[in-house]
Every structure is written in structure tokens, then in C-alpha cells.
Amino acid sequence: MAKYDLVGATGCATGVAHTFMAEEALEKAAKNLGYTIKIETHGQTGIENNLTNDEIKEAKAVIVASDIDVGTDRFAGKRLIVVPVARGVKEPEELIKKALTAPIYKDSQAVLSSNSDNISNQKFGNKIYTSLMNGVSHMLPFVVAGGVLIAISFFWGINSADPKSSEYNQFAAMLNTVGSTTMNLMAPVLGAYIAEALAQRTGFVVGLAAGFITFNGGGGFLGAIIGGYLAVFVVKALQKVFAPLPDDKFRGLKSIFLFPVLGVFITGAIMYWLNTPIKAINLGLMSWLKGFENTSPILLGIIVGIMCSTDFGGPVNKAAYVTGTILLAQGNYFFMAGVSAACIQSPLATGFAVLFNPKAYSKSERTAGYVNFLLGSTHITEGAIPFAAKHPLWNIPALMLGSAISSALTYMTHISVPAPHGGFIILPLVNKPFLWVLWILLGAVISGALLALIAGRFAKKEAILAGNTGSSSVDVKAEVQETHNPNDILDINNIKLDVDVNNRDEALKYLADLSVSNHLASDSSKVLASYKTREKEGSTGMTDGFAIPHAQSATIKKSSMLVLKLKHPIDWHSLDGQKIDTVISFLIPQVDSNDHLKYLSNTAKLLTHQDFITELKAANTPQTIKALFSKEQEV
């Protein structure tokens, strides 16, 4: 049996992208930190990589990054953290470190969640959220399957299921009936799985009944949520009332008869009387949204666009999406058109961004951007997450703008989309397909252009910081040229590993001595003096543990690059406050024609790409480091 340092589980409301992105991120982070990990995924195809009791027992800690219930009781006695799935994608290393120092979880205790300071509130709030997402994740396949079948029935005409209409078609009527029946299961399934997450099998039964009762009474989606949580309350209350009955004699009676019969009766009676006010609220909400579509399509588009590009498949995005599916079930095909446009736009925008400015992105980012053309075209929004997370305060507003434009234009031109998912696959069902695609592409191009500018700005900023020698005559264009690859001046003999120095001055002296021993300069004292003069002008400590010191002297014979990987991180007054473990130094002849600025800037560009940083940190031989710079000819 394989043993793992850590185990975990991931799951999201749709079970399509976030689930597996979090799995991959945690596996990569664990490998980088020197741990082994096994992740159980809860996706739409079911549970994969199931954790065994022995694997859980042997693990040092457990990480649950999920928006749905994955069953935390089995982790009792282990160090455990529970966070939303998005944090598993964005902060995998931080989660691993926190899990290893988390308190021991017992099923009677609160689960540590980093969303709040109050652990009791964290547990309650997290359970409410995960139970709701559990209901939504099980509901969505019914909505998609039913919605698509209904939409296909419209190929024979909008009234093709009506026997009194001239458009009537028997096959279309059958499709419509099957689709409508499946779609109508939305509320019962939602209520059932909300209750199941908190009250297990009995909760499922009572929640399912509550969902059907509220559906028949017009309570709809809102009624299903209320019914699901009411079922939990009733079941928990019944369990306390009948707790004095010993389980060894009355377990079967309670689980088969008392709890379901009394639970359905009490919950059903309450929902029967609540249906009237809930229906009124539902109708009011539908009327309000319909009024927005007719009187304020631009404002509605802005709201929907911002929601869809806030967390890309997360709870805010899902709130807009679920609202669209509810209205779709009510026969409103316009609202979903704007939601779909906003969701499709964001991943497409990242694809355009890497097309517009490929030099600002790493190879893996460019690949991801191109893949996002496919993901976006099929209404999978999560591919935008890595791009949004890189510079969120800049990139997310840029994506929101494009989403808002696409959504608003869709509402203004009264485009209808009768299916809740599918992206461009459902174009034959859209009333104005070419116009819809045009608005989506327009928003994507605008967001993509902004993303490309932002990426270029940050790459340029890093290059300028690295190339700034205090001279006012620095030419900005020279700093970002793509010629002068650092590999051209890097000799394998100038790469040293496990360098044992205690501070910055010792590191600079080591570099100066190395320059003389490798015949790159003739006077180490003058090289060291140049290094120290440069540091007085401003620290060359960068971010992510890198420093880029450089020396210019008449004793230096030719432009050269030296790379040191330190045995212990040292203080260097870096930009982000981190200690430095990797030093990339440049030796510059007195007559240089600013060539060193080009090498410096291109090196700084490389250090803005996470994949390059990861590979360089992991490299443990001079040959590997030399090959890595050789591979990155295109910055």
C-alpha cells in the first residue's frame, strides 16, 4: 500500500474544471515542497482516486478544497483544513503549510477554514455554503440535459410541442416532454441534495419531498433552498427528540418509519403554507429582472458581466448562471443569453491576450491561452482563472469590462438562448447567432487587448527595475529588446551551487573573487567596489528570492553572467522582503554601449514567468541551469 504525506479532496459545483485544476495545483505544490499527496476528486463523472481508510490514517494532514460536501467525518483525528475550491487553485502551497500545522479535527469540533477568524462561525458558514453547492452541483446536469432537449425541440418551431399548432411535430413534442420533465426535477433535486449534505439519507428523502411540494406550489428555486434547509432542521430535531430510544433496538424503526414519515409530514406541511409567500417573491423577482431587460439592458449587462467575471465558475459566477437557468425554466430565454455571453467571453479574452502580446507570457501561459479558445467556445469559464489570479487587481477588472460589454450588447439586441450550456455548440438554437458571436468576440478582443497591455506593463516594469543603474540616459526601448539572450554570456564554469555565504557582502566578495579566478576580470577589489557602489544606489534584490547584482569596471574583460545558488537564503533588502537564495550577476566592461541593459532586462523578463522560476529553483546541476537559459531563447 502506498503511503502519502498528505491526502485531500477537491470538488466544485459543476465538477468540470475547478475540481481538477485544484487537484493539479495541490499535486504540483506538494512536489515542489518535497511531499507526496493523493487527491480524491468529486467531479461530474463521480468520485475518482478514492481515499482508503489506511491512506487517511497514514497521512500527516488532510486538505479539503471543495464547494460541495465530500464527507469530512472520515478525517476525524487528522490535521484538517477545509477551504473553497478556488483557494486550492490559487494558494496550494499556503494550504499545504497550513494543513501541516492545523489543529486535530474531531467530528464534534469545528473545521479550520481560513475565511474568517471565528472558527465556530467558519464551520457553520462553510457547511451552509458547501451544502448549497452540493445541491447546485447535482441540479445542474438536470438543467443542462433538460434545457438542451427542450431547445432542440424548437428546431421544428417554437410551438412544435403544441398539438393545436400548425408547427406540431410528434418527435419534437416527445423531446419537449422529456426535456421539460427533466428540467422540472431541478427544484426537488436541489432541495434533496442540500438536505443530504447535512442530514444524510433521511435528509435526502425529506428534502426531495419538500422540493416537489414547493415546485407544485410555485415556490421554484427559492422554495427548494428553503425546503432543503427546513428538512435539515426538522430531521435534526427529530433525531434529538427520539435520541432516548436505544439504537440497538429502534435504529430500523427510526430510519425507515419515524424519521421519514414525520419528517415529510412536518416539512411538507410547513412548505405547503409557505408556498404562497415564496411564490409571490419568485414572481416579483422574475418581474423585476424582466423589467431590467426591457428598460435597463445596459445596467443589467454590466451587473451580469461583473458577476460572471468575478470568480469564473465560483459562487458569484454561479449565482448569475443559476438565475439564468431558473428564468430559462420559466420560459425566459433572454437572460441566459447575456450570462452565456459573459461566461464565454473571459476565456476567449485570455486567448486573444497571448495572441496580441506573446512575449509578455510564458510558454505554458501561451499554451493555456490557446486552449482557452476551445474551453471558452464550449462555455467553460474556469480557464481564465490562472490569468486573472496573476495580477488580479488589474486583470479581473479588464475581464469584467469585456464581459459587461458582451452581455449588455446581447440584452440590447434581444438575443435569446434557449439552452443553459454548450457555448457555440448551441448556435443553431440562438435566434441571432452571428450577432451573438460578434458581441462575444468584441468583448473578448477588448478584454484581451487590455490583458496584453497589462502583462506587457508588468514585464516592462520588472525589466526596468533590473536594468536601472542610476543613469538618466537609459533608453527604455533598449531595456525590452528581445535580442541579447542571457545564455549568450553564460558559461557553465560561472554557475556555482551550494555557495556558503552568510550575508550580501560575502556573496558580492564571492562573485568578485570568482570573476578573477575564471579570468573574467583582473582585479577583484575593484569589481567588489563596483558591486557595492551599485547596491548603495538601490538594492538589486528582486522578488521570489532572486538578486541581480552587477558590476562595471575597466578591469572586467568581457560581458559575462554568473549564477549562484546559495546554500542558505540571506537578507538582501529585496522588493518583496523575501530572503535571497539565487543570485544572477552581470559583469560589465567599461566600454559597453549599454548592452548590459539588454541582458539585464531580458533576464528580468524571464523572472516574471512562474514556469521559468519553478524550473530554475528546481535545477540542481550547472548543466541543467545552462540548458534552461538556452531553452528560453524567446523571452
The fraction of the chain above a pLDDT of 90, given in percent, is 28
Task: Identify which of 5, 143, 125 has the alpha carbon closest to the alpha carbon of residue 67.
Answer: 125
Reduced to 3 states (helix: H, G, I; strand: E, B; else coil), residue 589 is strand
Q: Tens digits of per-residue pLDDT, 60-72?
A: 999 999 887 787 8
Q: How far apart are CA 451 and CA 398, in angstroms?
A: 7
Which string of b and e fits 230-244 if b means at least 16 CB within 10 Å? Answer: bbbbbbeebeeeeee
The reply to whether 12 belongs to the active site is yes
Q: How far apart are CA 583 and CA 514, in angstroms?
A: 13
Which amino acid belongs to residue 430? V
Q: Tens digits of per-residue pLDDT, 103-120?
A: 888 654 444 443 333 334
Is it the case that residue 197 has pLDDT exceeding 60?
yes
Phi, psi angle pair for 573, to nearest 5°: 55, 50
Region 20-24: what's the mean pLDDT? 80
Paired residues of 589 in beta bridges: 553
pTM of the full predicted structure?
0.51
- The confidence score (pLDDT) of residue 254 equals 80
In a 13 Å sphere around the CA of 611, the CA atoms on its Cβ side amount to 13
Q: What is the separation of C-alpha 132 from the centre of its chain, rounded to a whole number of angstroms?
A: 19
Q: Where are the alpha helices (DSSP H) in 154-185?
A: 170-184
Cβ pair 407, 304 in contact under 8 A: yes
Task: Identify which of 349, 337, 340 has the alpha carbon closest to the alpha carbon of residue 446.
Answer: 349
Using the 8-state DSSP alphabet, how is residue 164 labeled? T
Is it the case that residue 404 has pLDDT exceeding 90?
yes
- Average pLDDT, rounded, for the chain: 81
Which CATH number does 6-115 carry?
3.40.50.2300
Dmax (CA) for the chain in angstroms is 99
- The confidence score (pLDDT) of residue 439 equals 96
Question: Quick one: which H or E segment has residue 342?
Answer: helix 334-356
Asked if the 476-631 domain carries CATH number 1.10.10.10, the reply is no
Instruction: List Cα–Cα distances, 315 to 221, 387, 582, in angstroms.
Output: 16, 19, 40
Question: Residues 9, 12, 408, 444: which is the catalytic one?
Answer: 12
Which string of b and e fits 328-343 if b means at least 16 CB within 10 Å? Answer: bbbebbbbbbbbbbbb
Question: Quick one: which H or E segment has residue 79?
Answer: strand 79-83
Q: How far apart are CA 525 and CA 540, in angstroms?
A: 20
Using the 8-state DSSP alphabet, how is residue 104 labeled? B
Using the 8-state DSSP alphabet, how is residue 75 labeled? G
Tell me the pLDDT band of 311, cut-offs 50, 70 and 90.
Answer: low
Name, in order, each residue with C-beta under 8 angstroms of 345's C-beta and a sequence gap of 6 or more.
309, 376, 399, 402, 403, 406, 440, 443, 444, 447
The fraction of the chain above a pLDDT of 70, given in percent, is 83
Q: Which of 194-198, 274-278, 469-473 has the lowest mean pLDDT?
A: 469-473
Sorted by where each begins, the domain ranges of the chain are: 6-115, 126-294, 297-312+344-454, 476-631
Q: Where are the alpha helices (DSSP H) in 357-432?
A: 363-377, 385-390, 392-412
User: How many CB atoms neighbour CB 532 within 10 A?
Assistant: 16
Q: Tens digits of per-residue pLDDT, 260-302?
A: 999 999 999 999 999 889 888 877 766 776 667 667 889 988 9
